[in-house]
Every structure is written in C-alpha cells, then in structure tokens.
Amino acid sequence: MNEQNDKKYFQDYMNENVCFGCGIHNDQGLHIKSEWDGEESVCVWESEEKYHGWSNLMNGGVMATLIDCHCMCTAMAHAYKLEGRALNTMPEYRYATGTLNVKYLKPTSNNDPVELRAKVTEVKGKKTVMHCGFYSLGEKTAEAEVIAIRVYDSSQDSGANVFKS
Ligand SMILES: CCCCCCCCCCCCCC(=O)SCCNC(=O)CCNC(=O)[C@H](O)C(C)(C)COP(=O)(O)OP(=O)(O)OC[C@H]1O[C@@H](n2cnc3c(N)ncnc32)[C@H](O)[C@@H]1OP(=O)(O)O
C-alpha cells in the first residue's frame, strides 16, 4: 500500500462529521486535510471546475470555507495538543466559528494547489484565536483572523446541545 494512503489528518479523527468543508462523511464536500508543520497547521487543497469564481480564479466563498474549516479543525487539534493527548483519545471536542474575518489580497488561481497555514495566537477558556494565511504558488493571496469557540465536549452532558448532531 502507498505510504501516503496511510497518512492521517485532523479530519480523520472527527467522527460523524458531515461538514461541507471538513467532513469525511460528506460525499459532496471539499474534503480538506490538515496536519501540523511545527507550530503551524497546514492544508493543501486543489480546486475543481465547480469551485470557480471566474474561469481562472477561485471563488472567494470557497476560500472562506477552506479557511474556516481548516481553522476549526486546527482549534480542535490544538486543544488536544495542549492537553498532551492524541487525536484519537477522549473526550472529543468540536469547535464552531465565532468570527471569520477574511482579507482578500490578490486574485487566487484555480489552476494550482493552494496552501493554508494557520497559527493559534491565543487560547482563553473555550475560545481559540488564530491567524490564517492563504497561499497560491507561494504568494499570499488572502489572510484571516478567526475565532473558534468550543461548542462540544463529549465529557459533558450534550442533551440539548445542537452541535452534537
Ligand atoms: C460528535 C459530534 C459530531 C459532529 C462533528 C462536527 C464537526 C464540525 C466542524 C465544523 C466546522 C465548520 C465551522 C462552521 O461552519 S460552524 C457554524 C457557524 N457558526 C455558528 O453557527 C456559531 C453560532 N454562534 C453560537 O453558537 C454562539 O454564539 C458561539 C458558540 C459562537 C458562542 O457561544 P457562547 O455564547 O456560549 O460563548 P460565551 O458567551 O460563553 O463566550 C465565550 C468566549 O467567546 C467569545 N465569543 C462569543 N461569541 C463570539 C463570537 N461570535 N466571535 C468571537 N468571540 C466570541 C466571548 O467574548 C468569550 O470570550 P471572553 O470574553 O471569555 O474572552
């Protein structure tokens, strides 16, 4: 078996995740894959024709979704890391977007893979603040300030929690 096929990403540990951007259980989704590169989390993603904005440029909403999901998954992985435990351990945490502030700096080509690099800048209680750079051919074409809020903790009663499903 190809070594690449054995590789696991943050999203592979998110049970029951049907999210359009990061869910492994969404057949129509973007299927982003995030992993650590030192203190930063990295996601490389290739566009398809259905995600075009202009014929040669990426759609800005799709870019925002990539940033959003990469950062929510990064917040989750970072929380586990802070607790010194692996992603396949309990309790499970999930994060939702509180704030997503994207600045589009330059047009982004559809034709080449894009790279997202996120870094956690602050953790306070259930809030994780991140900066995310969005790169095309090594050039930064967008950047974002993102705030994730922990909305699910499997060790707590989730009876009335809408984020459980
Ligand atoms: C097992 C499960 C399976 C499912 C897997 C699914 C995985 C899916 C992954 C999907 C990924 C895709 C991603 C998606 O698409 S997620 C979908 C889009 N996002 C939402 O729907 C979120 C809707 N909003 C809410 O539910 C609540 O307002 C949230 C959860 C955001 C806050 O909640 P709550 O009201 O309880 O919070 P708190 O009052 O205790 O405040 C706590 C701290 O947070 C600070 N704060 C509060 N609000 C905001 C804000 N908007 N921006 C910045 N900061 C905010 C606040 O000042 C305080 O900080 P500090 O004062 O202490 O410093």
Q: Can you give the pLDDT at residue 1?
A: 40
Distance 99 CA to ligand 1 centre (A): 8
> Which listed CATH number (3.10.129.10, 1.20.810.10, 3.40.50.2300, 3.30.465.10) goes with 13-154?
3.10.129.10
**Do 21 and 66 touch, CB atoms closer than 8 A?**
yes
Q: Report which of 36, 22, 18 is spatially closest to residue 67, judged by C-alpha positions.
A: 22
Q: Can you give the pLDDT at residue 4?
A: 57
Q: Is the pLDDT of residue 2 over 80?
A: no
pTM reported for the whole predicted model: 0.96
Q: Taking the alpha carbons of 11, 93, 75, 48 in that order, is the dihedral positive or negative?
A: positive
Distance 82 CA to ligand 1 centre (A): 19
**Span 57-109, pLDDT tens digits:** 999 999 999 999 999 999 999 999 999 999 999 999 999 999 999 999 999 99
The domain limits of the chain are 13-154
Residues contacting 85, CB < 8 A, separation 6+: none
**Span 142-156, pLDDT tens digits:** 999 999 999 999 999
Residue whose CB lies within 8 A of the most ligand 1 atoms, among 14, 19, 127, 128, for a mutation test: 127
Q: Can you give the pLDDT at residue 157?
A: 84
**Residue 101 to residue 67: CA distance in whole angstroms:** 10
Q: Which residues line ligand 1 (CB under 6 A)?
A: 14-17, 19, 21-22, 68-69, 72, 92, 94, 96-99, 124-127, 147, 149, 151-152, 164
